[in-house]
Structure 1
Amino acid sequence: MKYPLAIMAYLYDTYEGEMGIGYDIMCAFIKTLLRSSLGRKTVGIRLRGVVPAFHGHAHNRECQLGWHPMYVEGAGLEDFEECERTFCLSNNLASCTRLASPFHRQQQIDEHFHFHDFDKHAASGNFIFQNYRQSVEKVALNSVKLRAIEEQLHTTAADYEQDLKDERNHLEGLKHEPPEVARTVEYMELLGKHEVASGASIKAAQEFNRLDHLIVLEGIQKKEIAAIRTRYRTTYTRLLLVDEELSRYEVEHGHAVRWTRDLPQYKEAVTLMSQRRYRLALDKLERLTVQRLLELTKLSMSGVGESWSQPLI
């Protein structure tokens, strides 16, 4: 965080008043910023952080509601991705500086960004005008559609703001599982640990009971004998510890009878655990898929993957 903090310090010294900053991980960086020596200045100038539109879609929904430009008042049509476009244009330097000397490479890079700054400054007037024209057109066009929707659904602007607040509160409540679900998951995990420990202890006990047979008929040596005895002792000790932990949990949470596989409660808990693992896997898959699609879009490579509609040979 050294360089982002240094950039923020420079911006604070250069500009005054309210400030909006776009950063790929602004949702996490703001915590570091507030804990740093710049925390007081950050609060004083009323900084508004934004996660750029492109990167924001790879963040979870709760993060988008708080940091995506679409939901930030005053962001307008800005997507906060200008740095990405600047870095993309600078990639053209690779072909003409690859074989250059260090001096000429630095000279070429300096000239590139000098011209880029000059070009952006010259085009800034037209950029502002086009954005203003586009925003006016959007307001005029969408206002008509919005009025029609409001007449049909009997809604107002206050309803939309309340919907956002309700969605934020709902997602905030999903950070932690409901208490009854958390207790069921914890109990099932303890039962699973007990089952594994019990199976290992039974197997080690059977091997220990056959120790004389293994010594006489199979001729195992001192090292193998010691390993069998140690395994018998350690697995039994582990089973006692897990059983004690499970018994304590049952007493604390009022389980009069230990759940077994034939009980309805156990079968319902197994279904709950399966659905829980499925939802977690689905959330992870969705996040990775969105990230992959956005990266392909960034590289102008959308639609270049294999088509799964064709049979695989």
Structure 2
Amino acid sequence: MLTLNVADFIYNNYVQALTIISTTNIFLANFHASNAALEPNFEDDLKDEHQVLQCLARKKEESSIEIDYVKALNEYDKAHTLDLRVNYSTRESGDIRRCHSHAINKHDQKLEVVINYEHQMALDLRWGPDHPERIKAQSCITNRLFHKAVDDVERLIIMCLLELTKLQMSGLGKA
């Protein structure tokens, strides 16, 4: 019985191979191409791919500095806000002075980072919240955060599925 199944398997594969060969021969007979088109030109393909990769790297460098600049601007804007309550105790006053000096130092550091990016990008004016380039970069940042969140959700779902698979394989819940 086993020998008969093997023979049928071999015969069916042989018939399938002959069908593929005849179909391929018909296609090649109907395909009218010159020998130049059939011969691969690896050097030209390599040059084209090199140009595409260089263009992508240049785009990434340009967009990443803009995105980093907008991130620095956002951090700088966050460092601008301070807690302004009116009545403080003596202990709270010391804490407030310490927090205030820490906030000023943080603000200065963020400003320095923003200024460095502005020098790198040769900007004359700081991008305001309505600047089109800032809006575009903020959109890229939001897109990246969204894709990261989707990747995290996908990772968590896969982890849960793997845990469920482990539980089923361990035989739990079976009588």
2:100 pairs with 1:243: no
Relative to structure 1, the CA distance from residue 156 to residue 242 in structure 2 (aligned partners, 3 Å threshold; closer, same or farther) is same
2:63 pairs with 1:181: yes
The amino acid that maps onto 2:105 is T
C-alpha distance after superposition, 1:93-119 (max 9, x if no partner): xxxxxxxxxxxxxxxxxxxxxxxxxxx
1:265 is aligned to 133
Relative to structure 1, the CA distance from residue 180 to residue 136 in structure 2 (aligned partners, 3 Å threshold; closer, same or farther) is farther
Report if the CA contact (8 A) 2:73-2:114 is conserved: yes
State the alpha-carbon separation in 1 of the partners of residues 20 and 149 from structure 2. Answer: 38
Q: Which aligned pairs between 1:106-145 and structure 2 lie closer than 5 A? A: 133=10, 139-143=17-21
TM-aligned CA deviation for residue 278 of structure 1? 3.0
State the alpha-carbon separation in 2 of the partners of residues 158 and 290 from structure 1. Answer: 42
State the alpha-carbon separation in 2 of the partners of residues 140 and 239 from structure 1. Answer: 76
State the alpha-carbon separation in 2 of the partners of residues 175 and 290 from structure 1. Answer: 32
2:100 pairs with 1:232: yes
Which residue of 124, 127, 145 corresponds with 1:277? 145
Relative to structure 1, the CA distance from residue 235 to residue 157 in structure 2 (aligned partners, 3 Å threshold; closer, same or farther) is same
- SS of aligned partner of 1:259: coil
State the alpha-carbon separation in 2 of the partners of residues 240 and 297 from structure 1. Answer: 53
Cα RMSD, aligned residues only = 5.0
State the alpha-carbon separation in 1 of the partners of residues 140 and 115 from structure 2. Answer: 22
Which residue of 71, 75, 82 corresponds with 1:193? 75
Q: Which aligned pairs between 1:28-107 and structure 2 lie closer than 5 A? A: none
State the alpha-carbon separation in 2 of the partners of residues 242 and 293 from structure 1. Answer: 43
TM-aligned CA deviation for residue 276 of structure 1? 2.8
C-alpha distance after superposition, 1:64-84 (max 9, x if no partner): xxxxxxxxxxxxxxxxxxxxx
Asked which structure has the greater RCO (Cα within 8 Å, sep 6+), the reply is 2
The amino acid that maps onto 2:67 is V
C-alpha distance after superposition, 1:259-303 (max 9, x if no partner): 1111122222222222233344445556666787789889999xx
TM-score by length of 2: 0.58
TM-aligned CA deviation for residue 144 of structure 1? 5.0
The amino acid that maps onto 1:231 is C
Number of aligned positions between the proteins: 152
Which blocks of at least 5 consecutive residues in structure 1 are unaligned?
1-125, 302-313
